[in-house]
Structure 1
């Protein structure tokens, strides 16, 4: 997980870069009592991300901007099933159940407050919201809430050039600093693999033959001399 929190001059925002699978682990790191820096924008790499993660990260106060993969095929979500969205009508093929969110809203807030107070770790919430590989009723409510902000993120990314430029600039700035550190900071030394002791009766290992030359070397033999 690569993360940084520089000051971004355009809107004075702090940004962090992380992988999609490490997003909630990064949230745990941010809410550590010993951490004095908290980014405003959280950008992930191009990978899969769930609606539940989108809801948790947004409710924790982050501006969550995952890199969009397969944007032309992105599924958008609507609240009004009968509304006509013109060119976006086919893309908005999902419907958000607001009643489900309202029924579980007190429990949703209770979970988020538990993360704030570090009663529970953010990455453990995913396990709590799933059972046998499927989301629980509370998990479905989290996912429904996350689809609202996921749809807003897609629409803003497509429609707002300034939003795209800002997101790309933040990503390039952090990746550039990460590449600079990788190129100039010393790498940790590699540890040699431990050698197992030879068992009694086990034959001694034969030395490896020397590597053969890739290109054969030609040697000219002396021609027949005068008789």
Structure 2
């Protein structure tokens, strides 16, 4: 007669399940603090890395500042050569086109450069700088997004992207991990410049990074500001 295993009762099954569940929960609760610590450590490092990437971007782009203005002058001169004749008021049409292009392209690029300066120093400046910034933002708000893109893509975005590409090609392993994140933050910075310039100057850092950046003491900001000012 074949041997038949006795059927397990429901009480026995529940007891085995409760015992295995209690073992699992006891082991899981032991590693919960470690998981929370690792998540907090990752978020803290990520915010700190993003802040360093933004400051690194500001330093590098401000170092190639003449390239932006040379590109603007070159584009304006090229467009002026194609414009011939005189306008309704008898002025040289090429000179009118050149001045209009300089006026329309200097404004967005200068706003971007001033925003990068705010990233480095942490402040817009005194009341005079704030008044000038409000006037420039008002003129910039009159431009459509298409006009903003046309004025900044070839004169600001492309030189900046080429600068990051050159830095990536000549960098070490550590910087090759940093520069892609810097480029991602730069694209967000550029999109905010096109869509919401007022919010960009209220908070040049992304919202998550500013929480980390707000913890910087006033002493470090003053030290950075005093380092950039010449000795009297």
Q: Provide TM-score, normalisation by structure 1.
A: 0.28
User: Relative contact order (alpha carbons < 8 A, sep ≥ 6): 1 or 2 greater?
Assistant: 2
In the superposition, the TM-score normalised over structure 2's length comes to: 0.27
Q: Which has more helix, going by share of residues?
A: 2
